[in-house]
Structure 1
Amino acid sequence: MHSLCMLSMSAVNALKEGNQKRHVEGAFLFAVLLHFKHIYLYVAPAYGVYLLRSYCFTAVKPDGSVRWNSFSFVRVTSLGLVVFLVTALSLGPFLALNQLPQIFSRLFPFKRGLCHAYWAPNFWALYNVLDKVLSVIGLQLKLLDPSKIPKASMTSGLVQEFQHVVLPSVTPLATFVCTLMAVLPSVFCLWFKPQGPRGFLRCLILCALSSFLFGWHVHEKAILLAILPLSLLSVEKADDASIFLILTTTGHFSLFPLLFTAPELPIKILLMLLFTIYSISSLKTLFRKEKPLFNWMETFYLLGLGPLEICCEFLFPFTSWKLKYPFIPLLLTSVYCAVGITYSWLKLYVSVLTGPPVGKTKKK
């Protein structure tokens, strides 16, 4: 799936004269990708806005804004037709058998609860922990009635619906609004302050990260939707390299709970170390003439992953808490990694919002 996504991004970014037809190819590949894995809806806003601006409008003004009279109905129709045909081919049989409601109920599991069984390291992990801390403090101060606190816990590692104790409970609509508000600034920048193909990639990454941070029932593996395209930007600028290293290190570490058997332990640690060390050394060499890739705070945070892994994998199993609080390693991993991923999202957003617009050439 990820290779198909890379092919689609490559086709969409073909801006050289004579390659306009590759925009249709990119739209086709993304439509196919979307019907293979619906999670790529996360990045659909970036594709839609970028294709509309760079393909459906055939000319721009000297200041970089589009010429409204250059809108091509032929091109927008060709894009719509490609998407429609792929959708019809994919969903047509289910529509004929009256199975679409069942398909959509499986694709959008609103009854499975806010968080997945293994917490994704996103904003809601931090929100859940804050609610847990406040509930404990409330019980200690006798501000809460113990009989009114639900026995089912967000930290049980089970897929379930859950009502928060102190903070407002989160609904699917609330997560949609939060995601929309997080995505909109990057989409507006892509339209009003174009930065060329790199701007498209940054918008795509921000759409993926925003959906990961604020979406409903997010799978922890969805962090790869942001890590892979960010790797393409990491060799362009030192700031992007820094964001990539922080995001990829915390993102990959957050997947460790999925590989929980003893034989997998040395494999996942070794692969993580090899990839991380190689990535950091290579990018440091590439940007050796520029400022350091990490400040002291970022360095301290990344080094903290080592003690966290030792505590979760080697010390905690031998404590008396293992039977009573088996969720603690998962909770610590999710919350710690959520801090790094949120920081990467904010840092990338700052670079997008403060970056100068580029790409003022007139298209024919």
Structure 2
Amino acid sequence: MDKFHPSLRECAIAATAFKLLLFPAYKSTDFEVHRNWLAITHSLPVKEWYYEKTSEWTLDYPPFFAVFEWILGQVARFFDPAMLDVRNLGYDSVQTVYFQRSSVMFTELLLLYALQKHLPLCPLKFDPESSKRPAHAVALSIFLSPGFLIVDHIHFQYNGFLYGVLILSITLARSPSTRLYSGFLFALGVGIVGIIAAAFGPFLYWGQIPQLLSRLFPFSRGLCHAYWAPNIWAIYSFIDRVLIIVAPRLDLPINQEALTSVTRGLVGDTTFAVLPEITPRTTFLLTLFFQILSLIKLWTNPTYETFLGAITLCGYASFLFGWHVHEKAILLVVIPFSLLALKDRRYLGAFRPLAVAGHVSLFPLLFTAPEFLIKTVYTISWLVVFLTAFDALVSPVAVNTRRFLLDRFTMVFIIVAIPLIAYTSLAHKVLFGDRYEFLPLMFNSSYSAVGVVGSWVGFCWLFFSA
């Protein structure tokens, strides 16, 4: 780290060259989802966007993202107009693949710009002569995150662009002269009125708000996603699976209809066999409660670091307690926490299990053999390089402060990850073939959930005790 400090621009060039090699790689159903959204927004009037259902992958993102897809569609027509036909289900010509992959890389430049703007404002208290080094390491860790590589550039989404908007809004909030602009990007204060009016006003005028909300909040999909996101409900579901085994000995009643609902991995209502059912209202109230706690702290101590902490905890709350959370949403926590990870050694102690769990939890998204080495080698390399660099650069805590408890937890947690990856990726197939296909997913999700929850507990203790 002392001799080689690559700039963000140089890393972006190298990363782009690597990502170009991934164009032929696996692409999930999300590729077809976004192609269909390109077609919907390009070929239909706005008032029909949220009613169109030729494909099962109906438009269910907010209006501003639909406008983003419309803008992309204006360029896509020059590559291959056929991709913009809503009837061309599953269409994936070479031109379509190249355009969609390239659009992710191009729009990700906003993330690069946001990180460059954030560098001088990094809220880390170091010797002024070396203060740029930790901020630089954090920026590089975010831009080169395995999360973006796996979710955006292989699995296919646009998280890099969206988190670029988030980081840019966080950066603008630091300076009094730019806070108004931050408000419009981040929807703070009065700005939210104009944003809501612009996004939902036309649909209110057309009387389509119920239809729009039914798409944006699909409660019928069930509490857990097909692959459990590593949150509180993954642990809850795992405990329910364990209780099925011990219930006869304890004379506990079992809901027979639930014996296949959770482990099938299908989208739909999740029914628990032993534990009480969870309703959307319960998840909403829990999410709101834990978010309000962090906002109260921000209200009483309105500093920039508290602002970052509150954003991180709001991300934790949404991910841990939300309804039908996708595993990809872990980036809601990892990205803002990264901006605080080097505040002192205790914060880094809480960040490590999140970094490991968050990225390992994304592995099942790429389940084909050619991508195994890519996701494994890249993720392990990222963890080794950046967690080692963070440890060398982190601000020390007071001399008389005992080593943070999460350091020991993290060491054990990381060690367990090695046999877990080996089992879920290789050994299970050898031992069981096609049987118990949900078992590796359950183990991966439950393991990762322990790391995410442990990280959350540690972060809460640091945030509320400061």
Aligned counterpart, 2:284: 176
What does 1:163-202 correspond to in 2, within 5 Å?
163-192=271-300, 194=301, 196-202=303-309
Worse-superposed segment, 152-161 or 118-127 = 152-161
- Determine whether 1:119 maps to 2:275: no
- Determine whether 1:203 maps to 2:314: no
**Superposition deviation, residue 141 in structure 1:** 5.5
Aligned counterpart, 2:204: 95
For residues 309-355 of structure 1, the C-alpha deviation after alignment (integer angstroms, 9 at most, x for no partner) is: 001111001112x4331001100000000001001101010011110
CA distance in 2, matches of 1:159, 1:283: 39
Choose the corresponding residue for 2:244, options 88, 111, 135.
135
CA distance in 2, matches of 1:83, 1:7: 17
Choose the corresponding residue for 2:175, options 9, 14, 28.
14
Q: Which amino acid aligns with 2:305?
A: R
For residues 82-112 of structure 1, the C-alpha deviation after alignment (integer angstroms, 9 at most, x for no partner) is: 3333222222332233222121111111111
Does the CA contact (< 8 Å) of 1:183 and 1:207 recur in 2? yes
Give aligned-pair identity as a percent. 37
CA distance in 2, matches of 1:229, 1:150: 37
Q: What do you get for the CA RMSD once the two structures are aligned?
A: 2.0
CA distance in 1, matches of 2:349, 2:252: 44
For residues 150-188 of structure 1, the C-alpha deviation after alignment (integer angstroms, 9 at most, x for no partner) is: 343212111110221211100001111221222222122
- Determine whether 1:26 maps to 2:182: yes
Q: Which amino acid aligns with 1:104?
A: L
CA distance in 2, matches of 1:288, 1:91: 45
Does the CA contact (< 8 Å) of 1:257 and 1:330 recur in 2? yes
Worse-superposed segment, 122-131 or 239-248 = 239-248
1:154 alignment partner, SS class: coil
Question: Which structure would you say has the larger RCO, counting Cα contacts within 8 Å and 6 or more residues apart?
Answer: 1
CA distance in 1, matches of 2:260, 2:428: 23
Q: TM-score, length-normalised on structure 2?
A: 0.61
Q: TM-score, length-normalised on structure 1?
A: 0.78
CA distance in 1, matches of 2:390, 2:302: 23
Does the CA contact (< 8 Å) of 1:189 and 1:353 recur in 2? yes
The number of residues matched between the two structures is: 300
Does the CA contact (< 8 Å) of 1:135 and 1:144 recur in 2? no
Choose the corresponding residue for 1:254, options 349, 361, 367.
361
Cα pair distance change 1:11/1:117, threshold 3 Å: same
- Determine whether 1:217 maps to 2:300: no
**Superposition deviation, residue 242 in structure 1:** 2.0
What does 1:1-364 correspond to in 2, within 5 Å?
1-15=162-176, 19=177, 22-31=178-187, 79-80=189-190, 82-139=191-248, 143-144=252-253, 148-192=256-300, 194=301, 196-287=303-394, 295-320=407-432, 322-355=433-466
1:233 alignment partner, SS class: coil
**Superposition deviation, residue 298 in structure 1:** 1.8
Q: Which amino acid aligns with 1:136?
A: I
**Superposition deviation, residue 24 in structure 1:** 1.4
For residues 124-144 of structure 1, the C-alpha deviation after alignment (integer angstroms, 9 at most, x for no partner) is: 011011111112211356644
Does the CA contact (< 8 Å) of 1:245 and 1:279 recur in 2? no
For residues 205-255 of structure 1, the C-alpha deviation after alignment (integer angstroms, 9 at most, x for no partner) is: 001001110111111111101111111112221112222222111101101
1:181 alignment partner, SS class: helix
CA distance in 2, matches of 1:256, 1:268: 7
Structure 2: which 5+ runs fail to align? Answer: 1-161
**Superposition deviation, residue 145 in structure 1:** 6.0
Q: Which amino acid aligns with 2:164?
A: S
Q: Which amino acid aligns with 2:210?
A: P
Structure 1: which 5+ runs fail to align? Answer: 32-47, 49-78, 356-364
Does the CA contact (< 8 Å) of 2:340 and 2:347 recur in 1? yes
Does the CA contact (< 8 Å) of 2:229 and 2:325 recur in 1? yes
